[in-house]
Structures are given as structure tokens and as C-alpha cells.
Amino acid sequence: MLSPSLTTIRLFLHVLAAAIWVGGQIVLGAVVPRLRKVSPEATKAAARGFAAVAWPAYAVVMLTGLWNVAEIDVANTDTTYQITLFVKIVLAVATGVAAAAHSVASSKLVMALGGAIGLLAAVGAMFVGSLLTTGT
């Protein structure tokens, strides 16, 4: 068996936290409409439960993402890599901003847009992150 390194631990934590953040949004998006039919109050309890796990995971994503960037000599990468990295960072920030707007929204429109944009940005960040793993 290969030995783990600090790099593999950093990347594992980043991917695990991203999986919780993104996967949780997908699962919650599928569960909430069914919960709403059974018990409208249950959706808020589910959202609070998810938030208790998701926001710490998002913090880990951001911290390990900064750590990932610190490990790259960005100045010596090509322009396409730098642009891709910039897009990844924008999407990672956008998912958090949109999810925060979703969670504090009082209007159904803001709640819907925040949820949709948050999920799309999260999936996009994961995809672009996959591009980065092969671009170094």
C-alpha cells in the first residue's frame, strides 16, 4: 500500500468536505419536497440539521482550498491554469454566498434562486476542481 502524505491528507479533506457540501445539497433538494408533504415543519428541522454539518464542511473546503493554492507556484503555471483556478475560486465563493442568501431569505424567490445558484456553483466548482487536478 502507498503511504499517505500531507498532500494526500489535504486533498482527501478537501474532497470529503466538498462531497458533504455538494452531495448534501442534492440529497436535501430531493428530500425537502417529500418532507413538506408529510410535515411542513420538518423541512426546517432538516435544513437546520443539514446546516450543522454543511457549514463546517464548507469552512473545511475553503481552508483546504486556500492550502491547496498555497502549495502551487501559481506564477509558474500557464495562463489557462490560472484562469481555471480563478473560475474555481469564484464558484467556491459563489456557492457559499448563494447558500447563505438561501438560508436567511424571507422571500420564496430569493430562497429558490439562492438554492439553485448555490447548487449549480457547487457542482461547477467540483467540476473545475477536477480540471485543475490534471492541469498541473
Contact criterion met (CB below 8 Å) for 26 and 54 = no
Q: Is residue 130 part of a domain?
A: yes
Q: Name every residue whose Cβ is closer than 8 Å to that of residue 111 and which is 6 or more positions away in sequence.
A: 102, 105
Q: Name every residue whose Cβ is closer than 8 Å to that of residue 109 and which is 6 or more positions away in sequence.
A: none
Q: Is residue 1 part of a domain?
A: no
pTM for the whole structure: 0.92
Q: Is residue 20 part of a domain?
A: yes
Looking at residue 40, what is its pLDDT?
85
Residue 105, C-alpha cell as written in the block: 431569505
Give the model confidence (pLDDT) of 76-124 as tens digits: 999 999 999 999 999 999 999 999 999 999 999 999 999 999 999 999 9
Give the model confidence (pLDDT) of 21-51 as tens digits: 999 999 999 999 999 999 988 998 999 999 9
Is the pLDDT at 136 greater than 60? The verdict is no
| Number of domains observed in the structure of the chain | 1
Looking at residue 54, what is its pLDDT?
98
> Could you tell me the residue range of the domain that residue 103 belongs to?
6-134
- Of the pLDDT bands very low, low, confident and very high (cuts 50, 70, 90), residue 135 is low
Q: Is residue 15 part of a domain?
A: yes
Give the model confidence (pLDDT) of 113-128 as tens digits: 999 999 999 999 999 9
Q: Is residue 28 part of a domain?
A: yes
